Amino acid sequence: MNNGNRIDLTIENRVALVTLNRPDKRNALDLKMFHAIAEVQKMLAKSRDLRAVILSGSGVDFCSGLDVKSLMKDRSGMRKLLWKWLPWHSNLAQVAGTGWRELQVPVIAAIHGHCWGGGLQIALGADFRIIHPDASLSVMEGKWGLIPDMGGTLALRDLTSRDHAMWLAMTAEIFDAERALDLGIATALSDDPVSRSQEMAALLGDRSPDTVAATKKLYRKSWAGSAGSVLARETMYQLRILTGKNQGIAVKRELGADKPYRPAKRW
């Protein structure tokens, strides 16, 4: 990647650790950071051997939000962030959050320090959020006279009630990890979010990659769908799994065989 080293990417044991790497600016989001996030998402989407992604931040914060001074000075950059060919597709700003949803492997956000504004929108794009008890979170856009526009609304409508989501967006209230857990935004709290995320990734890696990928797609597409579409999708996905090799491998592994899984199908 060639975006000012804004992202640090390491892959070990088929788990990608994606680290926002602008600690001197508390990982604030500038145009280079947005481009770097989109680039790493595209890179990870091509890997069939990947089993999970852990998203974290270097330094004292996960991400303090937009680098407002940098972006406000760069009007052409702002246009690049917001431009899209089709209104129902993600623009560059939204991809920073929604792009994690599109990966077929689970994405776990390990959150510490400040997770504000755009930082929270990115974390909401993950499938799971492990939050340090001392972290603080905020839908901060309202403080600047803006609305949240990085795709986090998709997650909030699944995770919490409409009145709570509206309150957070209207007031830019800063809330703690316990409140995030009460709201359904936190999956769990941990004194070491990265280590806890690694434990989760290891557990996911012990399951069939087809099962994990299909489950992510099933729940992403079906959580708010009609009953008929959910039932149809369950059957369709199950038939695809049964025609693959990994379901049989899963059975053999449970019976004691030391047999590696094959790369996941494209879901």
Percent share of the chain, pLDDT over 90: 87
Q: pLDDT at residue 2 above 70?
A: no
Percent share of the chain, pLDDT over 70: 96
| Alpha-helical segments (H) within the chain | 31-45, 68-73, 75-82, 92-102, 118-124, 152-159, 162-171, 177-183, 193-205, 209-222, 227-242, 246-254
What is the reported pTM?
0.93
Q: State pLDDT tens for residues 218-235.
A: 999 998 889 999 999 999
pLDDT for res 95: 95
Q: State pLDDT tens for residues 142-155.
A: 998 889 999 999 99
pLDDT for res 81: 76
Sorted by sequence, the CB contacts under 8 Å of residue 118 that are 6+ apart come out as: 29, 63, 65, 66, 93, 96, 150
| Residue ranges of domains in the chain, CATH in brackets | 7-204 (3.90.226.10), 208-254 (1.10.12)
Pick from 234, 239, 199: nearest CA to 217: 234
Q: pLDDT at residue 84 above 90?
A: no
Q: State pLDDT tens for residues 85-140.
A: 778 889 999 999 999 999 999 999 999 999 999 999 999 999 999 999 999 999 99
